[in-house]
Amino acid sequence: MPLNTTSATEPSFDFALLQQSTPHHASRNRIALLWLFGLLGLLIGAVVMLVLYLHGFEAEEDQRQRAADAQWLEQSAQFNFRRLEDDLIVLARQSVLGDVSASQSTVQGGLLWRAPGVVLSHGWLPAATQPQDRRAAPPRWQLDGATHPANAQLLAIMQDTTRGLRRAAYAGPMRRADGQPGDVVWLAVPFFERGKFAGNYLAALSMNQAAQSMVPAWFQRQHAVRLVADEMGVSVNPLAPTPADAYRASLNLPGTELFLEVIQMGVQPATVPRMFLLVALVFLGGMLVSLYALRRDFLKRQQVQALLQAEVALRTAMENSVTIGLRAWDKRGKILYVNEAFCRMVGYRAAELLGCSAPLPYWPPDQTDELTLINQHIIAQGTGGKGVEAQFQHRDGHLIDVLIHEAPLNTASGEQLGWMSSILDISERKRARRMAARQQEKLEASGRLVAVGEVASTLAHELNQPLGALSSFAAGLLNRLRSGSISLADMEPVVARMARLAERAGGIIQHVNAFARRREISRQRLDLAALLRRVSSSSTEAPDRPLTLALPPEAVWIDADALLLEHLVNNLSGNALDWAGQGGRPPQVRVEVETDPASRLAVLTVADSGPGVREEDRAEIFNAFVSHKDGGMGMGLAICRSIAEAHHGRIEVGRDDALGGARFTVWLPLAEEAPPDAPPNSPTAPAAPTSPKERHAPRRHSHR
């Protein structure tokens, strides 16, 4: 139903009267607006809470990242210094064995041992009670001890620690002459041989170089690292002033109080939370715009709702006034809706039909199974454009012929709920059609009788004189033979005259036969496959004539009359095309040719997808004046059989397994091999026809 339009060229319906009874919904709109504004307030509060949450989340994330970086840096430093201690233990063991030069070249040290500038000096210091016995210590050992009194004290404590606690110890950082701490730290690793202290292996380390070596490049790109000597924040390698967001990672070296101070550089804020906030703000702006649009849309919706109610009232009145029955039912066959016209058609009230499913009350009892199959077919496939014819039974008992058209009944989302039926009473149309069919049958029978009468009168008129003369000559000759008054010389002209009269009678019969056939058979050598391509070209040009050919690539030579064989192919293919669309499946026609070299036969097959030929009708389908097609005279298949048998062949009918319809098979003898000097169209003697399935069966001849 179209909506009310303002077009000046198209008529429109005025729904003003129908809309007068439509109530106003102003109070309902105000409540909806209050709900919307409340929702807007909740959204604004949610955005504010989200901003606060994201701010705290970024702070916590930054703190967590700092803790993770500090923990990683501490663990990395401990690992590298423990590896350096293990390297010095190897050097100490080899020093005790006396092969110090070889040991330094064979040690595969860790990162700190291999990094340039980290190990400033190293050497073995044996355990001795006299200071002069310690001359083997590294030269820097004596130099650092003499630079500042605090250095000597730290070195002495380191030696006591290694001897007493049996573990590595550190001393430093060593102070310079001005008293300021430097970046040099001594490491002493004790070595015990058979439980007796043998000495310490000493190494002077540059902590700045160690820090630069331990911290990877990817960490330095995001952080600035510097060495801090003690808890008071005295920097060993001064940089810029320490920012407030710097944090420290302890090196955990026994005997020292060294820290690595880490300063984040170029910290980028978290992208995902800020993008989330931006999206939330965009949605908030969209909500404000939507509220404004909804406010404008409320009035339009109210108008459309009133118009829709008016249209529903008008449509209901129209449905009640039409004479075509309307029925809605779901996929299980349960009736959902019927209009008044359908109720009048079957004589039941709507309340009696709603909710009913098969078998329905208006089905004839003797057609329940057939109508059940029709319902199942409609549920599966619908009715198509032509509809489905069926019979309903009125409540008072009389039958109604109906034409049913189905259309899918879909929900607003497009899902099919069931089917909507329009049902038309065609009882009068069927009655008129049956009367017209009976009248047509009478006219066709009269036409056939007239044709037979014409042939009979022609034969009677033409044969009357020669047959009468033959009778007279035969009677006279018989009388003279009985009386013995005739000699052999006298008999010769009489018999010759009788022969001429008989020949004349035969010519009259041949003339009438030729009149019926229109021409005589003229055999010639032809290619059956090429003839089929030429004959079928006109059928395959039309899209609604689904004819396909299955022909061999080589020629199939036969001796036949081309025009009669073309007439046979046209009759069979035309008949197949007429019946192909009546089998309840897509129409298909297949024309196939193959050869049987063993029996010297060409096999022509014409199959269709129609309903086929019933078993009881196959015996008489080739008889004259037998037809199962509306308007047919029953001569087409009879002529086809006459043409096949005139070529010393045969024709049979069966069911095609592939297409499901009728299959007409024609066997024709193959042409004999032509001699090398013979022309292409020279006739050859045909072979004896036999069926490929029954080669020893006698041939059936036509006596029509």
Instruction: Summarize the confidence of residues 610-628 as an average pLDDT.
Output: 81
Do the Cβ atoms of 112 and 213 come closer than 8 Å?
Answer: yes
47 CB-near residues (< 8 Å, 6+ apart): 280, 281, 284
Among 205, 225, 227, smallest CA distance to 216 is for 225
Q: Would 59 be classed as within a structural domain?
A: no
For residue 405, what is the DSSP state?
A: E
**Which pLDDT belongs to residue 666?**
94
If asked whether residues 536 and 464 sit together in one domain, one would say no
**Which pLDDT belongs to residue 121?**
86
Among 430, 428, 424, smallest CA distance to 325 is for 424
Question: Is residue 9 scored above 50 in pLDDT?
Answer: no
If asked whether residues 657 and 571 sit together in one domain, one would say yes
Q: Which of 177-186, 432-441, 499-508, 639-648 has the lowest mean pLDDT?
A: 499-508
Q: Would 6 be classed as within a structural domain?
A: no
Do the Cβ atoms of 412 and 325 come closer than 8 Å?
Answer: no
If asked whether residues 126 and 212 sit together in one domain, one would say yes
- When pLDDT is cut at 50, 70 and 90, the band that residue 693 belongs to is very low
Q: How many residues does the structure list for the chain?
A: 704
Beta strands 259-264 and 223-228, pairing class: antiparallel
Q: Which of 370, 392, 425 is the last residue of a domain?
A: 425
If asked whether residues 391 and 329 sit together in one domain, one would say yes
Q: Would 160 be classed as within a structural domain?
A: yes
- When pLDDT is cut at 50, 70 and 90, the band that residue 591 belongs to is very high
Say which residue the tokens 């001795």 belong to.
128
* Averaged confidence pLDDT in the chain: 76
If asked whether residues 127 and 254 sit together in one domain, one would say yes
For residue 181, what is the DSSP state?
A: B
Q: Would 139 be classed as within a structural domain?
A: yes
Say which residue the tokens 């001849």 belong to.
701
If asked whether residues 142 and 210 sit together in one domain, one would say yes
Q: Would 452 be classed as within a structural domain?
A: yes
* Helices 528-540, 562-580: crossing angle, 10 deg rounding: 40
Instruction: Summarize the confidence of residues 92-107 as an average pLDDT.
Output: 64
Quick check: bond before 361 cis, omega within 30? no
Beta strands 416-425 and 325-330, pairing class: antiparallel
If asked whether residues 513 and 536 sit together in one domain, one would say no
Question: Is residue 16 scored above 60 in pLDDT?
Answer: no
- The DSSP-derived string for 497-519 is HHHHHHHHHHHHHHHHHHHHHSS
Task: List, in sequence order, every beta strand (DSSP E) within 127-195.
Answer: 169-171, 184-193
Q: Would 121 be classed as within a structural domain?
A: yes
**Which pLDDT belongs to residue 606?**
93
Do the Cβ atoms of 260 and 228 come closer than 8 Å?
Answer: yes
Do the Cβ atoms of 197 and 163 come closer than 8 Å?
Answer: yes
Among 616, 641, 640, 639, smallest CA distance to 628 is for 616
231 CB-near residues (< 8 Å, 6+ apart): 257
Q: Long-range contacts for 647-650 (Cβ within 8 Å, ≥24 apart)?
A: 647/521, 647/558, 647/559, 647/560, 647/561, 647/564, 647/565, 647/686, 648/686, 648/688, 648/689, 649/601, 649/689, 650/689, 650/691, 650/699, 650/700
**Which pLDDT belongs to residue 7?**
41
**Which pLDDT belongs to residue 108?**
67
Distance CA 305, CA 382 (A): 33
Q: Would 94 be classed as within a structural domain?
A: no
If asked whether residues 529 and 665 sit together in one domain, one would say yes
Distance CA 144, CA 150 (A): 10
The pLDDT tens digits of the residues spanning 195-240 come to 888 888 888 888 888 888 888 877 777 777 777 776 444 444 444 4
Would residue 98 be called left, alpha or beta, if left means φ above 0 and alpha means ψ between -120 and 50 degrees?
A: left
Q: What angle (nearest 5°) sits at the alpha carbon of residue 252, between those of residues 246 and 256?
A: 95
Percent of the chain exceeding pLDDT 90 equals 6
Q: What is the CATH number of the domain that holds 484?
A: 1.10.287
For residue 433, what is the DSSP state?
A: H
**Which pLDDT belongs to residue 577?**
87
Report in angstroms the alpha-carbon separations of 455 from 254, 265, 458, 637, 653.
137, 119, 5, 20, 30
The pLDDT tens digits of the residues spanning 558-582 come to 998 887 888 888 888 888 888 888 8
Q: Which of 188-197, 237-246, 359-368 has the lowest mean pLDDT?
A: 237-246
Would residue 333 be called left, alpha or beta, if left means φ above 0 and alpha means ψ between -120 and 50 degrees?
A: left
Distance CA 89, CA 103 (A): 11
Question: Is residue 45 scored above 90 in pLDDT?
Answer: no
Partner residues linked to 527 by β-bridges: 557
Structural domain for 143, as ranges: 107-264
If asked whether residues 605 and 532 sit together in one domain, one would say yes
**Which pLDDT belongs to residue 199?**
86
Q: What is the CATH number of the domain that holds 653?
A: 3.30.565.10
Q: Decide: pTM greater than 0.85.
A: no
The pLDDT tens digits of the residues spanning 529-557 come to 998 888 877 554 445 567 888 899 899 99
Q: Would 284 be classed as within a structural domain?
A: no
- When pLDDT is cut at 50, 70 and 90, the band that residue 317 belongs to is confident
Among 313, 301, 344, 312, smallest CA distance to 326 is for 344
Other C-beta atoms lying within 10 Å of the C-beta of residue 372: 15
**Which pLDDT belongs to residue 431?**
85
More confident residue, 241 or 224: 224
If asked whether residues 111 and 248 sit together in one domain, one would say yes
Distance CA 427, CA 400 (A): 6
Question: Is residue 455 scored above 70 in pLDDT?
Answer: no
Question: Is residue 688 scored above 50 in pLDDT?
Answer: no
Q: What is the CATH number of the domain that holds 373?
A: 3.30.450.20
Residue type, 108: Q
Instruction: Summarize the confidence of residues 400-426 as an average pLDDT.
Output: 84
Report in angstroms the alpha-carbon separations of 422 from 314, 324, 375, 409, 672.
19, 7, 14, 12, 64
- The DSSP-derived string for 243-276 is PTT-EEEE---TT---EEEEEE-SPPPPHHHHHH
Question: Is residue 508 scored above 70 in pLDDT?
Answer: no
Do the Cβ atoms of 211 and 260 come closer than 8 Å?
Answer: yes
Domain count, the chain: 4
Q: Which of 470, 500, 517 is the last residue of a domain?
A: 517
C-alpha neighbours within 13 Å on the C-beta side of residue 145 = 13
Q: Which of 394, 425, 456 is the last residue of a domain?
A: 425
Q: What angle (nearest 5°) sits at the alpha carbon of residue 703, between those of residues 699 and 704?
A: 130
Question: Is residue 150 scored above 80 in pLDDT?
Answer: yes
Percent of the chain exceeding pLDDT 70 equals 76
If asked whether residues 489 and 567 sit together in one domain, one would say no
**Which pLDDT belongs to residue 651?**
92
If asked whether residues 506 and 540 sit together in one domain, one would say no
